[in-house]
Amino acid sequence: MNILEIKNITKCYKKNSPVLNGLSISVPAGKIVGLLGPNGCGKSTLIKLIAGLLQADSGEIYVDGQKVGEKTAAVVSYLPERPYFNFKLKVKDLLKYFSEFYSDFRIDRAEKLLSDLSINKNARLSSLSKGTKEKVQLILVMSRDAKLYLLDEPIAGVDPAARDYILGTIISNYNPEASIIITTHLITDVEQVLDEFLFMTYGGKILMGGNADATRTKYSKSLDAIFREVFKC
């Protein structure tokens, strides 16, 4: 069964220059999918459409068989590409907030992850470094038992050691029956965790996609090397 169905989606920010133009994709349950493409090709736009933060000009999006809305928000766990919490809040306030609004939030898991990283629950977000803030966000998002995780550039802007931690957190904390969509242009770092991939180019066109292992075997190259060939300037 597909957890995500996107049918003929079009989205324009300016008239006659669509960021996404008639895009149709489906994501099966239980897969980690890399949405890979150059900057500005529409990856974040697509993720925001699935999260319900943007409205499509045409087309339909279904998550777990439901149109995007209040019900799909209950099963989608979204990590934006930049910090989105009120920095005046303390980490423990956020834990409480997530516990109240998300019935699938596992506070014990979040507390354990925070403790593993020695992040003080009583610390205000404003007192944390950019990297630690991103880790707190990721911990909160991955501590939900969601059916679909949308991770928009989760490793952009963090050092390589933090990238390993973030990817490790993603792999070890997601529900195996759930799917994860990761957008990034840092393919080398993520490709080892991907089950499936989609190469997306400007206008939201899918140039290539499929099973990550099969593609690597077929071309005897890493996804990163294939990406560099496909998107050669």
| Among the listed residues 40, 58, 65, 82, the single contact to other proteins using CB under 8 A | 82
How far apart CA 41 and CA 138 sit, in angstroms, is 24
Closest to 137 (Cα-Cα) out of 70, 156, 36, 38? 156
CA quadruple 159, 48, 102, 119: dihedral, nearest 10: 10
Q: Is 83 in the site for other proteins (CB under 8 A)?
A: yes
The DSSP symbol for 30 reads T
Nearer to other proteins, 107 or 214 (CB): 107
Residue with Cβ nearer other proteins (128 or 226): 128
Q: Which stretch binds other proteins (CB under 8 A): 75-83, 128-136, 177-185, 200-208?
A: 75-83
Burial 38-69 (b: 16+ CB within 10 A, else e): eeebbbbbbbbbbbbebebeebebbbbeeebe
196 close to 212: Cβ distance less than 8 angstroms: yes
2-to-35, 139, 157, 180 alpha-carbon distances in Å: 16, 26, 32, 12
Q: Using CB under 8 A, pick the residue from 28, 101, 107, 164 that binds other proteins.
A: 101
Interaction between residue 76 and other proteins (CB under 8 A): yes
> Using CA atoms, how far apart are residues 171 and 161, in angstroms rounded to an integer?
16
Nearest in space to 192 (alpha carbons), one of 177, 165, 171? 171
The interface mask with other proteins, positions 1-30, x = CB under 8 A, is ------------x-----------------
Minimum distance of other proteins from residue 110's CB (angstroms): 15
Q: Do 42 and 98 form a contact (C-beta atoms < 8 A)?
A: no
Of the residues 37, 80, 154, 204, which one makes contact with other proteins according to CB under 8 A = 80
**In one letter, which amino acid is 118?**
S
Of 20, 23, 32, 51, the residue at the interface with other proteins (CB under 8 A) is 51
Q: Binding to other proteins by residue 139, rule CB under 8 A?
A: no
Please report whether residue 219 would count as binding other proteins according to CB under 8 A. no
Is 171 one of the binding residues for other proteins (CB under 8 A)?
no
Q: How far is the CB of 203 from other proteins (least distance, A)?
A: 18
* Interface with other proteins, residue 73, by CB under 8 A: yes
Q: Which residues bind other proteins (CB under 8 A)?
A: 13, 48, 51-55, 70-71, 73-74, 76, 78, 80, 82-86, 97, 100-102
